[in-house]
Every structure is written in C-alpha cells, then in structure tokens.
Amino acid sequence: MQDLIRRLLAELGEDPTREGLLNTPRRVEKALKFLTSGYDADIDHVLNGALFTVDYSEMVIVKDIDFYSLCEHHLLPFFGKCHVAYIPSTKVIGLSKIPRLVDVFARRLQVQERLTNQIAATIGDKVAPLGVAVVMEATHLCMSMRGVEKQNSFAVTSAMLGAFRNSSRTRMEFLELIKLRSAVPGLSDRSPAGLACVGED
C-alpha cells in the first residue's frame, strides 16, 4: 500500500522523497486501515453478549452519536450525528454497544443510505425488538469541497422498521424526541474541524 501511495503522490505532481512526504505513505496506510477497520469487525464480538432480559417495553433512544465515514465514490469523509431508537420485545442491549455498532458500519467505504439501513437491520436482527428507527445527519465533503461546493448543505437519511414504520404516532414521538437540529452537523463549537494536522504517527 505504501508503494501505491508513493506512486499516487508522484502522479499528483509531488516529490514523494521530499522531507514533508517521506513518512506520508506510512501514515496514510495506518489511517486508511483504521478508517476501514469495520470490514474486519465481528458483530457478535462487538456486542459481546450484552443482551439482557428486562421487563421494559417503552422506547429506548441513543441520540447524537458522532460518526465519521468515507464516501465510496470519492474516498472523501462524511460525518455527523446518528440517532437510534428501538422498542424492546423481551431484551435490551447495553447502551454502549449502539455507538460501537454505528462505528463498525461507519468504518467502511459507505453511502449514507446503506449505512443507515445496515445499523437498523443489525439491531433488528440481534435484539429482535418491536421496532427500530435510525436517523443520520451528515455533512459530505464531496459536496462541500468539490463538485457543487455547497458548504452549508447536509443530508438526512432514515430507516424505520416494525412499529416505527407501522405507527405514525410512534414515528413522530421519536422524531420529536431527537429534535433534529437546523445547524449543520460537525460545525459546532466542539467540532474538531479547526484543528490542524501535524503529521502525527
């Protein structure tokens, strides 16, 4: 992979042997392997048996889950917030497992629509709830850095299964509870977007 990255740098008109780029192939390889580590993840291992029988049949919501992924069309980042809800049937899942599940699918080459569906389908399969809802809001750098160059646009996708698809009241309750923001995700005061890359290992 490092040889390919050196060739890419040369094709872009750069000198891969200059000081600032000497270690770039190694860093890029390490970064790409981390950003696509979801391909190697085992869902059952991630969940680690964290399913518990609980007498609870109301909506469970984990919202504002930060995620970062790579667009499969341009290999540019898209990032934002993920909101997940489900209505238990007989079991609940450990709350920390839901963000980990989001990361598994986000750390692959993705399109936002498929990413949303994969999260919902996996929770439906592993937890067998009465319903699952996933909403994702994301800024896509392939839209803001290139192409149409619309810096303030973002995409919202949703997947509604079971009770969330069949009951408009349940669906509206979920959407009201997550309170979709009008601000562009990723550009808040706590955003890391303004931090400079300093060539860390």
Active-site amino acid positions: 71-74, 112, 140, 142
Instruction: For tokens 């997947």, name the residue.
Output: 159
Q: Hey, what amino acid is at 12?
A: L
**68-72 LR contacts (CB < 8 Å, sep 24+):** 68/35, 68/106, 69/106, 69/107, 69/108, 69/110, 69/112, 69/115, 69/138, 70/35, 70/36, 70/108, 70/109, 70/110, 71/109, 71/110, 71/111, 71/140, 71/141, 71/142, 72/109, 72/110, 72/111
Q: What is the DSSP letter of 108?
A: S
Which residues, 6+ apart, have CB-to-CB distance to 149 below 8 Å? 143
Q: Hey, what amino acid is at 62?
A: V
Among 100, 156, 164, 170, CA closest to 132: 164
Q: Are 2 and 22 a contacting pair, CB within 8 Å? A: no
Q: What is the DSSP letter of 11?
A: H
Tell me the C-alpha distance between 56 and 196, whole Å: 46
